[in-house]
Copies of this chain bind each other. A is one copy, B any other.
Amino acid sequence: MESRKSLQFLVLSICVTLVLVVTWVHLPSSPNKVFLDCTLSSAWCSSKNRIQSSTKPNNLIKKPQQSSSTTQHQQHDSDVPHHPLDPLTVQEFNKIHAILAAHPFFESVSKYTLNTVSLEEPDKELVIKWKRGDPLPARKASVTAMVKGKSHFLTVDLNTDEVSIDEKSSVVSGYPTMAMEEMVGVLDVPLKSIEFNRTISQRGVNMGDLACLPISSGWYDLPVEENRRLIKVQCYSKKDTVNFYMKPIEGLTVLVDMDKKEVVSISDNGRDIPIANGINTDYRYSVQKLNGDFRLFNPISLEQPKGPSFTVEDGHLVKWANWEFHLKADARAGIIISQVKVRDPETSELRSVMYKGFTSELFVPYMDPTDAWYFKTYMDAGEYGFGLQAMPLDPLNDCPRNAYYMDGVFAAADGTPYLQPNMICVFESYAGDIAWRHSECPITDLQVTEVRPKVNLVVRMAAAVANYDYIIDWEFQTDGLIRAKVGLSGILMVKGTTYDHMNQVPSQEYLYGTLLSENIIGVIHDHFITYYLDLDVDGSDNSFMKVNIKKQETLPGESPRKSYLKAVKNVAKTEKDAQIKLKLYDPSEFHMINPSKKTRVGNPVGYKVVPSGTAASLLDPEDPPQKRAAFTNNQIWVTPYNKSEQWAGGLFVYQSEGDDTLQVWSNRDRPIENKDIVLWYTLGFHHIPCQEDYPIMPTVSSSFDLKPVNFFERNPVLKLPPNFKDDLPVCKAHDSS
């Protein structure tokens, strides 16, 4: 028996070794050098597009279809900053890399990770004062780094080479955004485990078909979470489909120590659950069997034969119609829009609307409390990097013809810069909509029909945080309205089940979602996207005014009417006055006004935030995920401007304990009247999956608006011309040309 056991062990060991060797080749490599080099590993590794100062960027991505007049996609290695808010350049990244590598703090350690390296923006007053032609304020970088399992926050002065270390981690919980190399680097850790290999084999999955995901494990105040950075790895089979998400190896969760790269524990509860067959889940065009029944369209295209009407100066300053703003890519936020100004048609003056706007954090809790699912409560910006996950846009499909594409330049985990090509696009959109119109009718006996077409400018990125795709749009309209829109597409996170028909499910059993296909449940979840909106309406000092719409009963004899609605205005004094939950039956408008600036007839100038369809978080406020994502406790918040309060879930969101959130800041209840204040808006979605979401989801969108309210003296697009036939292009089909 003894020898038999030994033999079994030997065979098993050989198998495991073999598997490990094979996997080593097939999975992304696990770099263990100080400076990562993944040129030999993943084709997608961020180092692939690493920029060497002596060589051209290794950018294999096809170039967008451009009108020949648009010059872009310059070589980024010679970029220089032109504006105080311009992102760090290749040369600056290289300099930071050199400064840090030589710094005693890093010199003394054998291994560290630079999790984020980004511009430390100059003080707001400096930026506002700065004019083109002025020298730039001192260039600085903010760096978050993991050294010996601890979070660090550093500032590097690029002029003086000085490094200052701010030990925020002694004050707040959590870890920095994962570097892409860290996410990839944990995926082969489970393979070190015999138990893991055995169960994979027992479930009939070939190691070559294994696809695993690094799933942020949240924080649940458990002993295992203390003093270590954890991640959970769950795996799928990619046999016969590129859409491995539809073939989960259900119930198998490997808890990994992210820094030590070792397995902490394995939970394996789904051995009786078959892996779904994945038939017809591959969504790629190349594998579709097209039949004649699906009618295709004649080509339809947004055409601008004279080219687009916007310009991008110095790589970042977008000018279009009556708008001007600074646009850049950011590894954590994705898109950052700054110094948004709109031209007043009465005075021709450019007037400030918003100093800075971006998606500050996301919260995506899944609604299944069982072992393999309860922890799925993603905070995609702070944990994964919303910009890091924004893959190159597909020209003609992600954005129409004549789009302008902007690259991201980020730092790899070792600090060397790399290129995220075509990460953001900018384009003009015309959907056939109407900016304003009026016809006179027979009643008035006037023959008037005046209609103006509506053309917008869209700034877009698409972040694919593993399975889900978030399409983030900032839409600028000529009437002064800014629409922030989120589209959800991509692939559901699904759960394996033994059921292949609803009639097998006992009536008392709750599935936590919808049976989408045989052995596949789409688990219910929410999405919340919290926007940081530093509105500066005609200057920094603003007030937040709630215009409450209230039923007013008339007095007896006052009117044949019993009631009417009255607008009751209340200016918020402190932060708690501005913690707002939206109510259909107690409605309000939410104005950001400048109390010192009035229109000709005496209304304070303002912008209002206009919610549209949305969802609120209904989790228990004391539930650990909700505590960490307490920024979703209200739809609207207003805080005094504070340079350090930009990330709604805190600076270090990974495994954070909820001690550094917007809720914590706002509860200080600081004065916010006639001050430099920031408005936060959370857009939400409840998602009960349905079969139409399988195997890939049609886009679902929602949005909110920032809209001028007594900001202009009158309709700012009164002078917009209509379309005349001779304005429009002459087109012919490509195959007839």
A693 at the interface (CB under 8 A from B): yes
A466 contacts B443, CB within 8 Å? yes
CB proximity to B under 8 Å, residues A689-736? 690-699, 702, 708-736
Determine whether A18 belongs to the interface, using a CB cutoff of 8 Å to chain B.
Answer: no
List B contacts of A603 (CB < 8 A). Answer: 502, 514-515, 690-691
Q: Is residue A240 contacting chain B, with contact meaning CB distance below 8 A?
A: no
The answer to whether A566 and B510 touch across the interface, beta carbons within 8 angstroms, is yes
Residue A490 is within 8 A (CB to CB) of chain B in the complex: yes
Query: CB within 8 A of A698: which of B297, B427, B436, B551?
Result: B436
* Complex A-B: 8 CB contacts under 8 Å: A285-B721, A293-B343, A397-B452, A434-B489, A439-B469, A454-B699, A691-B710, A726-B735
- Cβ contact within 8 Å between B394 and A445: no
Q: How far is the CB of A557 from chain B (nearest CB, A)?
A: 11
Listed stretches A3-11, A119-127, A577-585; interface member: A577-585
Q: Which among A146-154, A301-309, A669-677 touches the partner chain?
A: A301-309
Q: Enumerate A356-392 residues with CB–CB distance to B below 8 Å.
A: 365, 367-371, 374-375, 389, 391-392
Q: Are B715 and A697 in contact, CB atoms less than 8 angstroms apart?
A: yes
| A46 contacts partner chain B, Cβ-Cβ < 8 Å | yes
Q: Are A526 and B565 in contact (CB under 8 A)?
A: yes
Tell me which residues across on chain B come within 8 A of A34, comparing CB atoms. Answer: none
Contact partners of A431 in chain B: CB under 8 A: 302, 429-431
Question: Least Cβ distance of A219 to chain B in Å?
Answer: 9
A508-550: which have CB < 8 Å to B?
A: 510, 512, 514-518, 524, 526, 547, 549-550
Contact between A714 and B517 (Cβ–Cβ < 8 Å)? Answer: yes
Taken together, the copies of this chain in the complex come to 2
Q: How far is the CA of A691 from the CA of B554 in the complex (A)?
A: 28
For chain A, what secondary structure do more than half of its interface residues adopt (helix, strand, loop), or is it mixed?
loop
Q: Which of A84-92, A251-259, A332-340, A606-614 contacts B (4 or more CB under 8 A)?
A: A606-614
1/0 contact string of A185-203 vs chain B (CB within 8 Å):
0010000000000000000
- Chain A positions 250-290 with a Cβ under 8 Å from a chain B Cβ: 280, 283-285, 288, 290
**Is B430 a contact of A300 with CB atoms below 8 Å?**
yes
**A486 beta carbon closer than 8 Å to chain B:** no
Interface: A36 (CB within 8 A):
no
With known contacts A43-B447, A294-B345, A561–B695 Cβ distance under 8 A: no
Give min CB distance, A435 to chain B, whole Å: 6
State whether B374 touches A453 (Cβ < 8 A). Answer: no
Least distance between A225 CB and chain B CB atoms (Å):
10
Among the stretches A104-112, A621-629, A645-653, the one at the interface with B is: A621-629
**CB closest chain-B residue, reference A453:** B397
Query: Is there a chain B Cβ closer than 8 Å to A54's Cβ?
Result: no
Query: CB distance B728 to A710 under 8 Å?
Result: no
Which of chain B's residues has its CB closest to A562's CB? Answer: B623
Q: Which residues of B contact A551 (CB under 8 A)?
A: 618-620
What is the CB-to-nearest-CB distance from A560 to chain B, in angstroms, rounded to a whole number? 4
For A417-439 the 0/1 string (1 means CB < 8 A from B) is 00000000001111111111111
CB neighbours (8 Å) of A713 from chain B are 691
A360 to chain B, nearest CB (A): 21
Does A374 lie within 8 Å of B436, measured CB to CB? Answer: no
A45 within 8 A of B: yes
Per the 8 Å Cβ criterion, residues 442-466 of A in contact with B are 442-455, 458, 462, 464-466
Which one of A93-101, A134-142, A155-163, A398-406 contacts B?
A398-406
Q: Which residue among A389, A438, A603, A733 has the maximum number of chain B CB atoms within 10 Å of its CB? A: A438
Contact A300 B304 (CB under 8 A): yes
Residues 466-491 of chain A, each 1 if its beta carbon lies under 8 Å from chain B, else 0: 10010100000101110000010111
Which chain A residues in 481-509 approach chain B with CB under 8 Å?
Answer: 481, 487, 489-491, 500-503
Contact B437–A489 (Cβ < 8 Å): yes
Closest residue of B by beta carbon distance from A554: B369
Taking a contact as CB atoms under 8 Å apart, the answer to whether B725 and A65 are in contact is: yes
Decide if A306 touches B299 in the complex (CB within 8 Å): yes
**Alpha-carbon distance A40/B599, docked complex (angstroms):** 47
Contact of A584 among B308, B371, B616, B716 (CB under 8 A): B616
A587 touches B686 (CB 8 A): yes
A288-B515 contact in complex given A439-B462, A734-B729, C-beta closer than 8 Å? no
Identity of the chain B residue whose Cβ is nearest the Cβ of A430 in the assembled complex: B300
Find out whether the CB atom of B284 lies under 8 angstroms from the CB atom of A448: yes
Contacts of A572 in B (CB 8 A): none
What is the distance, in angstroms, from A489's C-beta to the closest C-beta of chain B? Answer: 5
Q: Which residues of B contact A737 (CB under 8 A)?
A: 730
With A and B bound together, what is the CA distance between A728 and B299 in angstroms? 6
Are the C-beta atoms of A294 and B322 separated by less than 8 Å?
Answer: yes
Task: Looking at the assembled complex, report how far the CB atom of A540 sits from the nearest CB atom of chain B, in whole angstroms.
Answer: 22
Cβ B515 vs Cβ A601 within 8 A: yes
Q: Does A440 contact B (CB under 8 A)?
A: yes
How far does the alpha carbon of A720 sit from the alpha carbon of B345 in the complex, in Å? 43
**New A-B contacts (9) at CB < 8 Å, excluding given A44-B441, A295-B321, A481-B698:** A28-B442, A183-B442, A183-B443, A295-B322, A397-B451, A550-B618, A589-B686, A691-B713, A730-B732
